[in-house]
Chain A
Amino acid sequence: MAGPKTPAQAPSAVESLWTSYTENTPSRLKLIDSFLVFIMLSGIMQFLYCILVTNYPFNAFLSGFGSTVGQFVLTASLRSQVNPQNKEQFKEVSPERAFADFALGSIVLHFFVFNFLG
């Protein structure tokens, strides 16, 4: 998840990456991406709290952080499944099916999260 955020060394590369992203990405994927960014920020904040303040109810931290990580990767999976560029790779998974899978995965994940919060 540690993305290559390198503003100083390669500004042109990053710039072209950004323009290419804004131009070529369907709005649906951008919506997913904004959700991803939100989850990532939430996870980073939890992690910082854990490091800077306390990790005392460790199971609570793990379930909170685990839920952000899990939701992040499930959403990222959904993103790659519904991405029209990846149609070749997912012959058996239609976008609707992908969303149902995403919903099931998230429900199972959050069942375990709430169970583990204790």
Chain B
Amino acid sequence: MAVAYSLPSNLSPSTVANIASLLRIVALILISGAAISSRLFAVVNFESIIHEFDPWFNYRATRVLASKGFYEFWNWFDPTAWYPLGRVVGGTIYPGLMATSGVIYNFLHALNLPVDIRNVCVLLAPGFSALTAWATYMFTKEMKDESAGLLAAIFIGIAPGYISRSVAGSYDNEAIAIFILMFTFYTWIKALKQGSAFFGTITAIFYFYMVAAWGGYAFITNMIPLHALVLILMGRFSNRLYVAYSSWYAVGTLASMQVPFVGFQPVRTSEHMGALGVFGLLQLVAFTDLVRSHVSSRQFQTLLRVSLVAVGVLGAAVFGVLTMKGWIAPWTGRFYSLWDTGYAKKYIPIIASVSEHQPTAWPSFFMDLHFLIFLFPAGVFLCFTELRDEHVFVVIYAVMASYFAGVMVRLMLTLTPVVCVASAIAFSSLLERYINPAEPTDDSKVDSENASGTASPDTASVASHDSPKPASKKSKKSAPPPPSSIESIMSEIIPGGSTSSAKGGAKTERGIFGLDTRFMVGGNAFFMLLMFVMHCTWVTSNAYSSPSVVLASRGQDGSQHIIDDFREAYYWLRQNTPETAVVMSWWDYGYQIAGMADRPTLVDNNTWNNTHIATVGKAMSSSEEVAYPILRKHDVDYVLVIFGGLLGYSGDDINKFLWMVRIAQGVWPDEIQEPNYFTPRGEYKVDAQASDAMKNSLMYKMSYYRFAELFQGQQAVDRVRGQTMPSQGPTLDYLEEAFTSENWIVRIYQVKNEDLLGRDLKSANAFAEGKKRKRGRPAPRRKAIV
């Protein structure tokens, strides 16, 4: 017997099992700690606030839920959003996130822990990331074993691809959705393995939770049927599959329709038809299976043929009628743009205008997943080599998620779990092979040893004892004849290791000899893990932990400057304007204005009414004379623009301006034309060469109003565009500057009232100015009286 290193032999199997389970528990607790603490950079560095745009709405809705109760929240009509129209919030959101934090909030209050709802919202995502790690552990345990599960748990615990959407303060649907996704998949695998209706029902319940939480539930709706379909096509239909799928689909579909936002979609739209089709197919296959068990094969063939024709004709007729009548809606634009990647840009500019909807670049795969991204294919390959029913799932998931992550940056999030699972499978197979102390030995010697050896509990060695051929693969399985009980446990814990170490040819010795190879490979693997941790921490702290509400910059001596213009301006609005003052801004800032300034907005980040957004786009991109009636018609009191030209903040409204033009052009192609905003040479410029339409547009005037004055005679330079501005800035007739923040990032303009004498404001202003020049004394007094 040869072992690379000896193992303690005086341990009982139960001791080993107990210690292993204790270690697993400790590891999971530590993983939870790592997952939570690595998400707290933003809270520690800045403060405990909600980031980004969408979370502000979720936060606002959660506050309603916490203060007014669930029924008020369910029937909440928000008159301040989409100003003239209002928004039925209860029927247009996924309430799972708010309900979850509402439950946590009430639970903590019941325990006399009076936590602010804001802190519940801020810390929800880190808390759920710990649960995600646990769910991934359970999922991977079903795929391979506990050790791979622990690896997968730590991978997903700190992988930046998931952290990017779940840092503290990122109170978005994805915060809880990934946990539910993984847990739904885990219960599905469990249901499929056992053929248990219990786990099928649990899958359905968690599917319901997922539907209530995230629009990405369609991913589950299509993954599970795809898995079932592939299993059927592979000839792996079993009654277990029937039980698992039927109980999931029947309960889950009915459950998903309870969410008001989803409504009748599961029977009406194309995204859900795959699940229905596979459900019908499974019924047919199961029934056929039953019939086959009762009749002879020849009769069965006749029956099959006739019924196939009948079902085919019936199905085609039903599908034809449904499509003709238009009962099944086609793909929605958001889904369709995943298949036809040029579709959104051509037809729905509002989808293409979101930066998350762009294709992913190569470096971001490495940035988000570090070395997991190249272990990922190896893990999928290892799944192929074994290919049990659940491995098919991982393979399909890997293929689908890779495609979607390639099409859209945002869907990197759904790729990350499967990357973690597959790489954990690959990594733990590697470690198993190189930590396993068994040395490859001469086969004949092994056989004789086994034959004479004491009664061993290892079944593999019994198998080798039975087979007489010394070079057969079976005998190779017995490479480590267990001299002690700990060895036998080791080989039971690591079933793959000893098998594969001797998988080589018949005579030649293949395997791992000595400690040096083990140390080299093991040390390398350990080094990679260490680099992974460092990389994840670095990416998380540098790239993903900045609240977009406050901007941070570093001085040359390392001191930190906080640029807090957004809140400065929003609080100005909150404190210095009447509560009913309507604020118009581009839709990006709608949620933040509603959340922080608490004022009605025209449009917000829920882009459900494209025409309304195009109205705002038209107002922003046309001249003052055209825009003013639009503003008056919508009761707009204040107009808010974001301008980064002074500070070099590139995400400002001038850079988004072309999208406003495009979206407005989609609705009013006669009045707004994109080419008008370019110079004759086709350049997008804001300096003296800018086109007339550009210079006269409301957005341009509002952004650069009094900008040149700031430089006091020197050349005014826009630091984002890098262009020199003309010394004579634009003038405003219909608006007046109400507030400009410290660094000029947020500029708020008040819409003037109509002239008292009924003139248009432009000539009124010209008149006032002309008067001033002639007589030397304006009429400020009279104005003050009025």
A contacts, CB < 8 Å to B: 1-4, 6, 9-10, 12-14, 16-17, 20-21, 24, 58-59, 62-63, 66-67, 69-70, 73-74, 76-78, 80-81, 83, 85-86, 89-90, 92-93, 97-98, 100-102, 104-105, 108-109, 112-113, 115-116
Asked whether, in the complex, the Cβ of A74 is within 8 Å of the Cβ of B197, the reply is: yes
Asked whether, in the complex, the Cβ of A2 is within 8 Å of the Cβ of B311, the reply is: yes
Sampled A-B contacts (20; CB under 8 Å): A1-B280, A1-B284, A4-B310, A10-B302, A10-B306, A13-B295, A13-B300, A16-B296, A17-B291, A20-B295, A21-B294, A62-B264, A69-B250, A73-B249, A80-B239, A93-B196, A100-B198, A104-B201, A105-B200, A105-B251
> Given A3-B287, A105-B200: A17 and B195 within 8 A (CB)?
no
Q: Which residues on B sit within 8 Å (CB–CB) of A63?
A: 254
Asked whether, in the complex, the Cβ of B296 is within 8 Å of the Cβ of A116, the reply is: no
Known: A10-B303, A102-B197. 19 other contacts (CB 8 A): A3-B287, A4-B307, A6-B310, A13-B299, A13-B302, A14-B303, A20-B295, A70-B250, A73-B249, A74-B197, A74-B247, A76-B286, A77-B243, A77-B247, A81-B197, A83-B239, A101-B198, A105-B197, A105-B251
Q: Which residues on A sit within 8 Å (CB–CB) of B257?
A: 59, 62, 116
Ordered nearest first, which 10 A-B pairs have the shortest CB separation? A4-B307, A70-B250, A73-B246, A101-B197, A13-B299, A77-B243, A80-B239, A20-B294, A101-B198, A6-B306
Asked whether, in the complex, the Cβ of B251 is within 8 Å of the Cβ of A112, the reply is: yes
Asked whether, in the complex, the Cβ of A109 is within 8 Å of the Cβ of B197, the reply is: no
State how many angstroms separate the Cβ of B38 from the closest Cβ of chain A: 37
Q: Which residues on A sit within 8 Å (CB–CB) of B280?
A: 1
- CA–CA, A73 and B247, complex, Å: 7
Q: Using CB atoms, name the residue of chain A closest to B191.
A: A101
Asked whether, in the complex, the Cβ of B250 is within 8 Å of the Cβ of A89, the reply is: no
State how many angstroms separate the Cβ of A9 from the closest Cβ of chain B: 5
- CA–CA, A4 and B291, complex, Å: 10
Q: Using CB atoms, name the residue of chain B closest to A25.
A: B294
The total of chain B residues at the interface (CB under 8 A) is: 46
State how many angstroms separate the Cβ of A40 from the closest Cβ of chain B: 11
Could you say which of B194, B293, B300, B307 contacts A6, with CB atoms under 8 Å apart? B307
Q: Which residues on B sit within 8 Å (CB–CB) of A78?
A: 197
Interface set, chain B 257-271, CB cutoff 8 A to A: 257-258, 264, 267
Asked whether, in the complex, the Cβ of A81 is within 8 Å of the Cβ of B243, the reply is: yes
Q: Which residues on A sit within 8 Å (CB–CB) of B295?
A: 13, 16-17, 20
Q: Which residues on A sit within 8 Å (CB–CB) of B267?
A: 62
Q: Using CB atoms, name the residue of chain A closest to B304.
A: A4
Could you say which of A3, A16, A90 contacts B299, with CB atoms under 8 Å apart? A16
Interface set, chain B 332-373, CB cutoff 8 A to A: none
- CA–CA, A63 and B254, complex, Å: 7
Q: Using CB atoms, name the residue of chain B closest to A67.
A: B254
Q: Using CB atoms, name the residue of chain A closest to B199.
A: A101
Q: Using CB atoms, name the residue of chain B closest to A6.
A: B306
Asked whether, in the complex, the Cβ of B201 is within 8 Å of the Cβ of A108, the reply is: yes
Tell whether B240 is near chain A: CB-to-CB under 8 Å. Answer: yes
Asked whether, in the complex, the Cβ of B195 is within 8 Å of the Cβ of A89, the reply is: yes
> Given A4-B291, A4-B307, A13-B302: A109 and B254 within 8 A (CB)?
yes
Most chain A beta-carbon neighbours within 10 Å: one of B194, B258, B294: B294
Asked whether, in the complex, the Cβ of B291 is within 8 Å of the Cβ of A109, the reply is: no
Tell whether B119 is near chain A: CB-to-CB under 8 Å. Answer: no
